[in-house]
Homo-oligomer: A and B are copies of this chain.
Amino acid sequence: MLTMEKPAQTRDDLIDALLLKAEVDAFNARYCAALDSQRLADWAALFTEDAFYTIISRENHDRGLPVGLIYCENGGMIRDRAFALEKTAMFAPRYLRHMVSNLSVREAADGSFTANADYVVFQVLFDRPAATIHQVGRYDDVFVRTPSGLRLKSRTCIYDSLLVDNALCIPV
């Protein structure tokens, strides 16, 4: 059946929904810019302390299998991942470029809200200069509002590709 959001009642409700969506859109722009300019500590700061972050294949996700390319159960694991990538990891230098589309946001009863969006990550490897499609998929998110603004309580990146190329280590 077609899932249909319950229509907001008043014009003010519609404007509030639009402002919330704009806030998530701005959050995603900041998130993508942090990753694309390789400011991974900034990326990690966009999650809550109890955040869950995972990158999982659509195949596994659809079957309820939790195994993912990256699996972080809290903010510490996310910062660890960022630190490792910035300071210790070995991988071919590259440029990344995230694009996001089809954002939708739904408020939950507990003050948090869920969001979905489609993403594509383009990649330019320094030794193979044409841009290629690194990953295509969908964000499945839970956001919370904190004193410092929106933060991700959970982001599941569900990617369509069946083959994982040589860059599995990189957050999307």
Chain A interface residues toward B at CB < 8 A: 1-5, 7, 11, 14-15, 18-19, 21-22, 26, 28-30, 32-34, 36, 39, 42, 45-46, 58, 95, 97-104, 116, 118, 120, 122, 124, 126, 129-133, 135-138, 148-149, 160-163, 165
Contacts and interface: CB of A to CB of B under 8 A. Distances in A.
A3 to B, nearest CB: 8
Given A1-B42, A28-B102, A122 B120 contact: yes
A132 B133 contact: yes
Q: How many copies does the complex hold?
A: 3
A95 B26 CA distance: 28
Contact of A131 (B1, B3, B138, B161): B161
B102 A101 contact: no
25 contacts: A1-B42, A2-B46, A4-B148, A5-B26, A7-B149, A21-B22, A28-B102, A29-B104, A30-B104, A32-B101, A32-B102, A32-B118, A36-B118, A95-B160, A97-B136, A97-B137, A98-B101, A99-B102, A100-B102, A122-B136, A129-B162, A131-B135, A131-B160, A131-B161, A133-B133
